[in-house]
C-alpha cells in the first residue's frame, strides 16, 4: 500500500507520538508482507528536525482489498516490533515502537547508518578497485557479533527465541564512513516468539542470490543459514562475485550431473518459487545452490589471502554441518585473523572508506549514495521547512 493510497502529501504530519511529529518525506516502495516503507522526519512539537527515520506502514483497505490481508499485515508489523525489543545492539538498526492510528499503523525505526554493502560494491566497481581483505574481515567480524546477539536472544524467562534473519544480503548490511556496521530489517525473521504469525510458503525470504542452499531447496533454515548469507556478502565485497549468481555455469550437462533425488528436490523448490510469485531468476539461484562445487568455491577465493579465503570457504559450504556452527564462533575467528584489532580496526576502516570516497568524488552523487555528512549535506537534509 503506497503513500499515495494513504492520501499523504509530502510534508504532511503522519502522526504525533511521545512528543514528536512524524512528517512524511518519501515513499520508498513496498517492504514485505504488504507493508509500505516510508521516509519521514521526526520533529519536536516546536518544529525542530531531530533526524530522519523509516516507517513501515499499513493502512486501511481500499476498494478491492480485504480486511483479512490488512489484518495479517498488521499482525506481522506488530510481531516485528515485539521481536525488536530483544534486539538491543549497536550493530542492529533500532526499532522505536509502533503507532496505531485510524489512518494506518506505523513501525518506527532508525534510518541505517551510512551506505549498504551493495552501495560500497558498486562504488568500488566503478572505481575499478576492491576493498582490502582486512576491511572485509573487519566488516564480517562486526556483523557476526551483531548476529550472535540476535541468534542467542532469549525471552524474559530465559527461553531461546531462535531468531534467524532469513533475508541477510548486501542491501541489509550498512557501513558508515567511520567503519561502524549495522544489520537492518528483521521483518522477515524466523523466531520462536510467542504468538508469531507463521509463514505460509516455504521459499527464499530475501534476495535469493544470498540465500543458503537449504533455504532455496527446502525452505528449512536455522542460524547457520544466516552465516552462509553473510559469507556470500563478504565474498562479493572482496571479489565482486556472488557464488549463486553464475548463470553461465548452468549448462544442461551440469544440471544432468545431479542425482535423481537432488533433481527432484530442485524441481519441487522451483515449483514452490513459482507458486509464491518469485522472479524467474530465482530458478537459476536454486539450480546453482544444488550444483556448485568445492572446486568452484576455491577458484572464486583463490586470489584472496588465506586469512579471508579459509573463513569464506567454510561459510559457503553447502551443508550447514560443514560451516561455522555459531555466529560467535565466526566472530572470534575473524577477530583472530585481525589480531584482535591490532592489524585493522575502526580507524583503518575509516581511512580506507575515505580513500574510496575521495576517488569516487562526484560519482557518489551520480549513484545517489550518501557521502560523509561532514563533507556535504543536501538542502533537503538541512532544511526545517
Averaged over successive runs of 10 residues, the pLDDT of the chain (385 residues) comes to: 60 92 91 84 91 90 68 89 96 95 90 91 91 97 98 95 96 93 94 75 67 94 97 97 91 91 94 89 94 96 96 98 98 94 90 91 78 46 31
Q: Where residue 162 sits, what CATH number does that domain have?
A: 1.10.510.10
Q: How many CA atoms lie within 13 A of 184 on its CB side?
A: 24
Whole-number pLDDT of residue 310: 97
Coil, strand or helix at 16? strand
Residues 154 and 289 in one domain: yes
Cβ proximity of 19 and 45 under 8 Å: yes
* Residue 315 vs residues 247, 278, 282, 326: alpha-carbon distances, Å: 22, 26, 21, 11
Q: Where residue 96 sits, what CATH number does that domain have?
A: 3.30.200.20
The set of cell numbers assigned to 318 is 553447502
DSSP assignment letter at 323: S
84, 110, 136 - which closes a domain: 110
C-alpha–C-alpha distance, residues 140 and 331, integer Å:
7
Residue 213: domain span: 115-337
DSSP assignment letter at 291: H
| DSSP conformation letters of 292-319 | --HHHHHHHHTTS-HHHHHHHHHHT-SS
C-alpha–C-alpha distance, residues 96 and 324, integer Å:
32
Whole-number pLDDT of residue 377: 37
Domain assignment present for 135: yes
C-alpha–C-alpha distance, residues 360 and 265, integer Å:
45
Cβ proximity of 121 and 237 under 8 Å: yes
Domain assignment present for 279: yes
| Cell 578497485 found at | 129
Residues 36 and 63 in one domain: yes
Domain count, the chain: 2
Whole-number pLDDT of residue 317: 98
Residues 250 and 277 in one domain: yes
* Residue 349 vs residues 176, 341, 344: alpha-carbon distances, Å: 10, 11, 7
Residues 36 and 70 in one domain: yes
Amino acid at each position: 500500500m503506497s503513500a499515495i493510497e494513504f492520501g499523504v502529501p509530502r510534508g504532511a504530519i503522519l502522526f504525533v507520538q511521545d512528543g514528536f511529529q512524524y512528517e512524511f518525506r518519501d515513499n520508498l516502495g513496498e517492504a514485505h508482507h504488504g507493508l509500505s516503507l516510508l521516509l519521514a522526519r521526526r520533529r519536536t512539537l516546536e518544529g525542530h528536525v531531530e533526524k530522519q527515520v523509516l516507517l513501515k506502514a499499513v493502512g486501511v483497505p481500499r476498494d478491492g482489498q480485504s480486511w483479512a490481508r490488512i489484518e495479517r499485515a498488521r499482525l506481522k508489523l506488530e510481531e516485528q516490533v515485539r521481536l525488536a525489543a530483544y534486539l538491543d545492539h549497536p550493530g542492529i538498526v533500532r526499532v522505536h515502537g509502533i503507532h496505531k492510528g485510524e489512518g494506518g499503523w506505523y513501525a518506527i525505526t532508525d534510518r541505517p547508518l551510512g551506505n549498504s554493502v551493495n552501495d560500497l560494491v558498486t562504488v568500488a566497481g566503478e572505481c575499478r578497485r576492491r576493498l582490502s581483505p582486512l576491511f572485509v574481515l573487519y566488516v564480517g567480524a562486526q556483523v557476526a557479533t551483531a548476529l550472535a546477539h540476535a541468534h542467542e536472544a532469549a525471552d524474559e524467562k530465559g527461553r531461546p527465541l531462535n531468531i534467524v534473519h532469513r533475508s541477510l544480503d548486501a542491501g541489509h548490511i550498512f557501513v558508515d564512513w567511520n567503519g561502524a556496521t549495522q544489520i537492518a530489517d528483521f521483518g522477515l525473521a524466523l523466531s520462536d516468539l510467542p504468538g508469531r504469525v507463521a509463514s505460509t510458503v516455504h521459499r527464499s525470504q530475501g534476495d535469493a542470490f544470498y540465500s543458503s542452499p537449504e533455504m532455496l531447496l527446502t525452505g528449512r533454515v536455522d542460524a547457520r543459514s544466516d552465516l552462509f548469507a553473510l559469507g556470500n556478502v563478504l565474498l562479493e565485497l572482496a571479489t565482486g562475485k556472488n557464488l549463486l549468481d553464475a548463470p553461465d555455469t548452468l549448462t544442461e550437462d551440469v544440471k544432468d550431473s545431479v542425482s535423481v533425488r537432488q533433481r527432484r528436490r530442485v524441481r519441487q523448490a522451483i515449483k514452490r518459487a513459482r507458486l509464491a510469485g518469485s522472479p524467474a531468476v530465482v530458478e537459476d539461484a536454486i539450480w546453482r545452490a544444488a550444483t556448485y562445487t568445492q572446486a568452484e568455491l576455491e577458484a572464486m577465493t583463490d586470489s584472496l589471502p588465506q586469512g579471508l579465503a579459509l573463513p569464506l570457504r567454510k561459510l559457503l559450504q553447502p551443508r550447514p554441518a560443514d560451516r561455522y556452527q555459531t555466529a560467535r564462533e565466526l566472530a572470534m575467528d575473524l577477530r583472530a585473523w585481525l589480531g584482535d584489532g591490532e592489524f585493522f580496526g575502526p580507524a583503518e576502516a575509516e581511512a580506507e572508506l575515505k580513500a574510496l570516497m575521495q576517488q569516487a568524488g562526484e560519482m557518489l552523487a551520480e549513484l545517489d549514495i550518501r557521502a560523509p555528512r561532514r563533507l556535504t549535506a543536501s538542502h533537503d537534509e538541512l532544511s526545517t521547512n
